[in-house]
Amino acid sequence: MTYDSSMRGCNLESLGMGVGMGDEVQERVVVVLVRARNPNNIGAVARAMHDFGFRHLRIVNEYGVPFETARSAVDASDVLAGAMVCASVAEAVADCTLVVGTTAVGERDLQHPLHVLPDAAGKIGTELAGEGRVALLFGSEKTGLSNDELSHCHWLLTIPMEEHEEIRHPSMNLGQAVAVCLYELVRGKGSIAAGAASEAANAGEVERLMVLLTEVLEITGYTKRHPANCDEAQIRRLVLRMGVSAGDAPVWMGILRQVLWKVRE
């Protein structure tokens, strides 16, 4: 079996992804692999997605990956054929209302709320009960997600594992981690019911709001007075913690544009 190595570019507007965990809810879950290099691991991810009924795979990688060697993806050629290559994490999650990063924790100083997988699955289910779309981010096999990549996440999940004295930081390989996370989502899908919660702003709107806020901070001199508070990742985390709804996002952007216009007069 061979796979098309010229995967689709990340054109989110052309996806036509479904709305409404039945199959329709699984259509609103996106698996994002960031800097994944091993084609066999990518193949294992594709097979896990196929086996649990998920099909939207996006890959953020600055290097070309020989997907035709993804031999682990038995019966998952449709997932690989539909996968998209994105230039950045921001691009990969732009249409998602909830972005969840995965981490083995280790000795990292995390800047996000952290939930163990069973609890995380419940929170994801709540998002899917509305009209939200969820992105699950998985990092490099060797280093996981960087702090900048984590800054795109609303919160993080970790898979609880048995600790062993001889292993400093236990972790799963990429295919195993994706399979366990997707199984937990499918296992709880019966409890997902349609809800009337207000829709959250998607990541693209959050990114635009962050850019406008950064402009305001720069033009008003705040970034010069408080440079330690103003790197891009910190401002992005700040905006994400606000939990802006889809209805409020354009209002906040309008307010910030008005501030910019007034300051520039």
Residue 136 has pLDDT above 90, yes or no: yes
What is the separation of C-alpha 73 from the centre of its chain, rounded to a whole number of angstroms?
22
pLDDT of residue 135: 96
Give the per-residue pLDDT at 258: 84
**Which of 229, 84, 88 has its CA nearest to residue 152?**
88
Three-state SS at 102: strand
Biggest alpha carbon–alpha carbon distance for the chain? 64
User: Which of 47-61, 115-129, 189-203 has the weakest average pLDDT?
Assistant: 189-203
Going from N- to C-terminal start, the domains of the chain cover 8-191, 203-264
The token pair that represents 119 in the structure block: 């609890």
What's the rounded Cα separation, in Å, for the pair 172 and 216?
A: 42
pLDDT at 62: 79
User: What is the rounded average pLDDT of the residues 166-180?
Assistant: 77
Question: What is the C-alpha to C-alpha distance for residues 183 and 34, in angstroms, rounded to an integer?
Answer: 21
For the segment 189-233, what is each residue's pLDDT rounded down to a tens digit?
655 544 445 677 888 888 888 898 888 888 888 888 888 877 888
> Among residues 47, 144, 58, 153, which one has the least CA distance to residue 99?
153
Confidence class for position 17, pLDDT limits 50, 70, 90: very low
Confidence at residue 56, expressed as pLDDT on a 0 to 100 scale = 95
Classify residue 223 by burial, with Cβ atoms within 10 Å: 0-12, 13-18, 19+: middle
C-alpha to C-alpha distance for 141 and 163, rounded to whole angstroms: 19
**61 exposure class (CB count in 10 Å sphere: 0-12, 13-18, 19+):** middle
Exposure of 250 by Cβ count < 10 A (0-12 exposed, 13-18 middle, 19+ buried)? Answer: middle
Least confident of 44-53, 63-72, 150-159, 251-260: 63-72
Residue closest to 60 by CA, chosen among 137, 120, 134: 137
Window from 65-69, 78-82, 112-116, 193-197 with minimum mean pLDDT: 193-197
pLDDT of residue 150: 92
Q: Which of the pair, 95 or 169, is modelled with greater confidence?
A: 95
Q: In the beta sheet, which residues pair with residue 56?
A: 30
DSSP 37-73: --HHHHHHHHHHHHHHT--EEEEE-SS---GGG-TT-
Q: Tell me the pLDDT band of 7, cut-offs 50, 70 and 90.
A: low
* Confidence at residue 22, expressed as pLDDT on a 0 to 100 scale: 57
- Cα-flanking dihedrals φ and ψ of residue 246, to 5°? -60, -35
Average pLDDT of span 242-264:
82
Please give the Cα distance from 117 to 100 (Å, whole number): 11
Residue 245 confidence (pLDDT): 80
Both tokens assigned to 87: 């230039």
The alpha carbons of the chain give a radius of gyration, in whole angstroms, of: 19
Lowest mean pLDDT among 86-90, 136-140, 198-202: 198-202
Q: Between 9 and 160, whose confidence is greater? A: 160
The correct answer on CATH 3.40.50.300 for the domain covering 8-191 is no
